[in-house]
Structure 1
Amino acid sequence: MIRNMNSYPLYDDGEHKVFWLGIEESEDEKGILTNQYLVVDGNEAALIEPGGFFVFSRVLKNVSSIVPPTQIKYLLYSHQDPDVVAGLNLWFEYAPLAKLVISELWVRFIPHLAVLSAGRTIGIPDRGADFKLGKSTIRAVPSHYLHSPGNFSFYDEKSGILFSSDIGAAAFSKDEWYLFVEDFDEHVRHMEGFHRRYMSSTKALKAWVRHVRKLKPRVIAPQHGAIFRDEHVGKFLNWLESLEVGIDVFEKEFYGE
């Protein structure tokens, strides 16, 4: 059963902190559940996957309980889907110093959200980029075609947390939800259909896994579903490595051939 939850700390060494930003019961009735994350280093913060319109009040409340929104330096968007970007106008108002960070592919689409973003947009080149936050660094890791053609994961080097966008997403049934994966084999049933349909390329998925293994993340935190930590990080990467997805399975899936 989903319960209302405020922010939850994923990492805290006194200077550098990472939070998952909560959930509300009503969100389960309005669409697929989404995760938002806040990284704080000193007096600067980055909001990762800020979310759409109907989660804005919950995210703003939980951010404000940790830092003033005026300390948000970056609004980090993995891709262009509305459940990620649709609240941008509100964040531009309440976090007036924040820069929008998104793939260069999607920068020219931002005006279609009725957002005046001139001077506040940073386009991420395809190969990725590093973003300084206080004394720390957040790395934009290419995740293209997983599922968007311009997609990034964000790796917080200090905490070792990889914010993986839709990679690792789980679609829970109506009355089922948990924050951390505890039974990986059981959790697979919430992930498999989503990944086979939304991840477009097995080749891209395997390349992402190879690169992520080099980063050696301690935690993988997706935009939907539960968070992977401890031994479940390795189990998740192994599972992805053996999965066929997207264009590589569509002929059999849709045409029965």
Structure 2
Amino acid sequence: MVALTEKTENRLTLQVADIVADTTAIRSLDWDRDRFDIEFGLQNGTTYNSFLIQGEKTALVDTSHEKFRDQYLPKLKEIVDPTTIDYIIISHTEPDHSGLVKDVLEIAPQAVVVGSKVAIQFLEGFVHQPFERQVVKTGDQLDLGKGHCLEFVNAPNLHWPDTMLTYDWGTQTLFTCDVFGMHYCSNDLLDTDLEAISPDYRFYYDCLMGPNARSVLAALKRMGKLGEVAMVANGHGPLLHYNVEELINRYRTWSENKAKGEKTVAVFYVSDYGYSDRASQAIAYGITKTGITVEMMDLLGADQQEVRELVERSNAIVIGMPPSSGEKAQEASATLGTIIASVSSKQAIGVFESYGGDDEPIDPLKTRFSDLGLKEVFPAIRITDTPGEATYKLCEEAGTDLGQWLQRDKTVKQMKSLDSDLDKAMGRLSGGLYIITAKKGDLKSAMLASWVAQASFDPPGISIAVAKDRAIEALMQVGDQFVLNILEEGNYQHLMKHFLKRFKPGADRFEGVNTQTANNGSPILTDALAYLECEVVSRMECSDHWIVYNKVNQGRVSKPESLTAVHHRKVGNHY
């Protein structure tokens, strides 16, 4: 029996459903959520999924976002007498899943909070009241009776250091919170439409899990010791039931590909301080877009030997500034000391502020690394206000700049490879010259393109190949809109020169360029021969590029007598 309210009546709704024996899902449907962490332009909202397991003892797995307080708590009381809840299992403490833990404890003070050691420590920081707790680690079990024996698997850095998976041996259900989730809000309880959810599933992985690919593989290895997984009860989106094996294997394949990088960047942050975790995730996402492997580590609670080993095998180090006072500062300072003692002059460095109100100053740390001979690849990111989408985009672009800098030798080698007959033959594939422009929220970006082709008549459609490390790629997800500006033969050099420049992270790519605004909000270049307003319909991954298929909604030619500029190359192994 499923109870829900239609999307048209209320934009914050609840869905309650029995999913397996003695197990109920309470899904908070956030239809209008369009921004989440570092992800931009969520097209399909999101959900916050909570679960109640009622054996001889009762366990609540995660809660919900605090915005659902007035709906979630009364619904929970309808389903179960709060005084009979024996355990509250915390998969991880990010507020969208644990935002109502304090409220639940007020109506169920007898409940024992179960979580990883780090999760319990984090929870103490925002519950601010005594509570019973039980710290668990990989392999520990909790018997609820009636066959519901729960086994726990630590999955640190997916995508917080406190993440824990919970497997119910009785129903073969794996409770995963963020892992195997997606920001996709619909009335579908389960993954009935694989094609519909696949783009959001992939985008979610790329943003939140891809920067921790090696941690994903480690978690999958630990999961291998569990029984068959018949259902994945995730924290966001529809639950996985019909495509469990397929979607778990996608994580494995994607992570294996990302972990193959020849070079590695270590990203250090403080997960529960300021905006360190969000900024570090954005930087890591930008790095992974270039094919570089990222390993993330919390400055707090880190094993110093693991810190030393990670730094020594990394080609670059990124550090989020920790607090300058208190117990956390002392612990972070010890880790910083290990990092400084382990770096070499061949490495690159990047630093960013956490905007936690008590950050260590950036400049002294920069000076220390400079004196040791490390190269600063991107300017220090100084967050002076509550970060928004523009700040996180700046962080992403800084990460991409770092990744591209680490790949510079490979790029130069490709450019010098002029003797290959194949490269010369590929270079004879000519194309028009175009500039893609896009605006989403406060973000604007642009890209010079030549890999563009008409792909359909009805509806009119075009395909565009976009390199994975292009800044505009994040603004060309399914449902996004943009403008394809078609350049004019004999009148394109100034635009080509401008958009071929290397822009600093966060720079305005349209400064000094005449533009108008399209109906879809994207910039139109005034000097373009013609333009097409497009909407992304689908994306296909092709090695180092995305092939993006787009529906053309409208267009206009400003100079009917003119011809499109054509681009000819000598070789086909680089732009």
Q: Which runs of 4+ in 1 moved over 6 A?
A: none
Task: Tell me whether 1:23 sits opposite 2:33 in the alignment.
Answer: no
Instruction: Report what 2:48 is aligned to.
Output: 34
Report the AA paired with residue 144 of structure 2. Answer: L
| C-alpha spacing 1:65/1:189, structure 2 compared with 1 (3 Å) | same
Instruction: Report what 2:108 is aligned to.
Output: 95
Task: Tell me whether 1:168 sits opposite 2:180 in the alignment.
Answer: yes
| C-alpha spacing 1:98/1:208, structure 2 compared with 1 (3 Å) | same
Q: Distance in 2 between the 1:107 and 1:22 partners? A: 24
**Contact 2:173 2:233 (C-alpha < 8 Å) held by counterparts:** yes
| C-alpha spacing 1:106/1:5, structure 2 compared with 1 (3 Å) | closer
Instruction: Report what 1:123 is aligned to.
Output: 135
Task: Tell which deviates more after alignment, 144-153 or 29-38.
Answer: 29-38
Alignment of 1:131-142 (within 5 A): 131-135=142-146, 136-142=148-154
Q: Deviations over 1:184-232 (max 9, x none)?
A: 23312011122112114222212323443442111011100111113x0
Instruction: Report what 1:178 is aligned to.
Output: 188
Q: Distance in 2 between the 1:22 and 1:169 partners? A: 13
Report the AA paired with residue 221 of structure 1. Answer: A
Q: Distance in 2 between the 1:93 and 1:239 partners? A: 40
Q: Distance in 1 between the 2:105 and 2:289 partners? A: 40
Per-residue deviation, 1:29: 3.6
Instruction: Report what 1:61 is aligned to.
Output: 74
Per-residue deviation, 1:107: 2.3
The percentage of aligned residue pairs carrying the same residue is 18
Task: Tell me whether 1:254 sits opposite 2:400 in the alignment.
Answer: yes
Structure 2: segments with no counterpart, 5+ residues? 1-5, 37-45, 259-283, 292-398, 405-575
| C-alpha spacing 1:160/1:58, structure 2 compared with 1 (3 Å) | farther
Instruction: Report what 1:81 is aligned to.
Output: 94
Instruction: Report what 1:237 is aligned to.
Output: 248
Q: Which one has the largest radius of gyration?
A: 2
**Contact 2:180 2:248 (C-alpha < 8 Å) held by counterparts:** no
Q: Deviations over 1:130-181 (max 9, x none)?
A: 11213431111122221112210111111111111111111127xx552211
Task: Tell me whether 1:70 sits opposite 2:80 in the alignment.
Answer: no
**Contact 1:8 1:20 (C-alpha < 8 Å) held by counterparts:** yes
Task: Tell me whether 1:188 sits opposite 2:173 in the alignment.
Answer: no
| C-alpha spacing 1:45/1:178, structure 2 compared with 1 (3 Å) | same
Q: Distance in 1 between the 2:83 and 2:213 partners? A: 41
Report the AA paired with residue 141 of structure 1. Answer: V
**Contact 2:14 2:71 (C-alpha < 8 Å) held by counterparts:** no
Task: Tell me whether 1:106 sits opposite 2:119 in the alignment.
Answer: yes
Q: Distance in 2 between the 1:206 and 1:107 partners? A: 25
SS in structure 1 at match of 2:20: strand
Q: Considering Cα pairs closer than 8 Å and 6+ residues apart, tell me whether 1 or 2 has the greater RCO.
A: 1
Q: RMSD in angstroms over aligned alpha carbons? A: 2.5
**Contact 1:88 1:115 (C-alpha < 8 Å) held by counterparts:** no
| C-alpha spacing 1:134/1:62, structure 2 compared with 1 (3 Å) | farther
**Contact 1:145 1:151 (C-alpha < 8 Å) held by counterparts:** yes
Q: Distance in 2 between the 1:114 and 1:142 partners? A: 22
Q: Distance in 2 between the 1:151 and 1:5 partners? A: 25
Q: Distance in 2 between the 1:162 and 1:2 partners? A: 28
**Contact 2:28 2:64 (C-alpha < 8 Å) held by counterparts:** no
Instruction: Report what 2:485 is aligned to.
Output: none
**Contact 1:6 1:62 (C-alpha < 8 Å) held by counterparts:** no
| C-alpha spacing 1:33/1:5, structure 2 compared with 1 (3 Å) | closer
Q: Distance in 2 between the 1:78 and 1:157 partners? A: 17
Instruction: Report what 2:300 is aligned to.
Output: none
Q: Distance in 2 between the 1:67 and 1:90 partners? A: 15
Q: Deviations over 1:9-49 (max 9, x none)?
A: 0112xxxx00111435xx3346742111110003x211111
Q: Distance in 2 between the 1:36 and 1:152 partners? A: 15
Instruction: Report what 1:159 is aligned to.
Output: 171
Q: Distance in 1 between the 2:208 and 2:194 partners? A: 20
Q: Distance in 1 between the 2:143 and 2:150 partners? A: 6
**Contact 2:158 2:208 (C-alpha < 8 Å) held by counterparts:** yes
Q: Distance in 1 between the 2:7 and 2:220 partners? A: 31
SS in structure 2 at match of 1:56: helix
TM-score by length of 1: 0.84
Q: Number of residues paired by the alignment?
A: 245
Instruction: Report what 1:49 is aligned to.
Output: 62
